[in-house]
Amino acid sequence: MARTIRVQSDSNAHDRPWRVAVEQGFFAEEGLDVVYHEDNPKGTEGRVKDFAHRWKETQLQQGALEVYPVCEWGAIERVQRLGKGKIIGLDATVRTGAIMVRKDSPVLSLADLRNVAIAVTWHAGTFYAAIEVMEAAGIPFAEIKLEHAADRLDALLSGRNEAAALMEPLVSRAIAADCRKIADLRWRGGIVAGQDIDAETAEKLRRALNRAIAWLREDEERSRAELLRDLAPELRKDGLLPELTGVKAYQPAEFKAKVDWMLKRGFLHEAPSYDDSVHAR
């Protein structure tokens, strides 16, 4: 009898290989019955500032989920804070996004966003990636201002925020609304799995996801249709695709580098251990 694995995803391009692996039967061929949930049933109401009270995280805590993909920083933070699960690998895609402003905005570069509140999802991929790209542009951490928004696109278009850190399908929708891109964002994802996911099951999940990545790489038009399915067909040809890297083992040095970065900026109170956080192969 196939083992049932409940996965909570988000409605965005970089999580779509999970859906592909379900629809193409790659999980089933590994003997896994993956029940795939896309986005949370509460919509924007479920995207509260404190991640411990968001839909995915509460479901994992309550044992209603076995697996969920999240950003690399978030995987470390959630495993430590929630006390549930381990990281079983880096996710199948490198996420891509952009910091966007309205067409009439006086902002022309990242330097113009010094001490300006940027709409993000708090302690999620766009949050951390925005900090990285701002620091790389020479803006000190103390002068980077981020603000949680349950609906980042609305925060941008309504004028509530001067800028927003977005990913697909929101990037293409912002461009369709005449917004401008100020900077590209790029970040990795992690896969968090519950305590009862053993090494054999984790390896089956990784194999199925990597088959989905190989299937997507075969045809870019098909890849765009699958990964950008939330967008109208006329927007898909120019949509921002994630990098199809395949699932990777999470190495101790990579883990330590992210932990050190988070500690320095106060996102972790103490350093979690690799062995307690990562389900190594």
Q: Convert 211-230 to b/e letters by CB count within 10 Å (16 or more is b).
A: bbbebbeeeeeebbebbbeb
Question: pTM of this prediction?
Answer: 0.91
Report the distance separating Cα 126 and Cα 104, nearest Å.
23
Burial (0-12, 13-18, 19+ Cβ within 10 Å), 1: exposed
Q: Which two tokens stand for residue 255?
A: 């883990």
From 165, 187, 209, the end of a domain falls on: 187
Number of domains observed in the structure of the chain: 2
Q: Are 7 and 77 found together in one domain?
A: yes
Q: Are 136 and 80 found together in one domain?
A: no
Residue with tokens 């009270």, as numbered in its chain: 53
- The pLDDT tens digits of the residues spanning 133-161 come to 999 999 999 999 999 998 999 999 999 99
Q: Check residue 48 and give its pLDDT.
A: 54
- The pLDDT tens digits of the residues spanning 220-261 come to 999 999 999 989 999 999 999 999 999 999 999 999 999 999
Cβ distance 73 to 194 under 8 Å? no
Q: Are 205 and 257 found together in one domain?
A: yes
Q: Are 212 and 228 found together in one domain?
A: yes
Q: Are 69 and 196 found together in one domain?
A: yes
Q: Are 183 and 100 found together in one domain?
A: yes
Range of the domain at 170: 96-187
From 138, 154, 187, the end of a domain falls on: 187
From 139, 164, 187, the end of a domain falls on: 187
Q: How far is CA 72 from CA 69, 90, 149, 188, 255, in A?
A: 9, 7, 20, 6, 9
DSSP string over 240-264: -PPEE---B---HHHHHHHHHHHHH
Q: Are 135 and 109 found together in one domain?
A: yes
DSSP structural state of residue 122: T
- The pLDDT tens digits of the residues spanning 79-92 come to 988 777 899 999 99
Q: Are 26 and 146 found together in one domain?
A: no
Q: How far is CA 73 from CA 44, 78, 126, in A?
A: 22, 9, 11
Q: Are 272 and 201 found together in one domain?
A: yes
Q: Are 146 and 205 found together in one domain?
A: no
Q: Check residue 12 and give its pLDDT.
A: 77
Cβ distance 240 to 172 under 8 Å? yes
Q: Are 57 and 196 found together in one domain?
A: yes
Q: Are 48 and 175 found together in one domain?
A: no
Q: What is the CATH number of the domain that holds 31?
A: 3.40.190.10
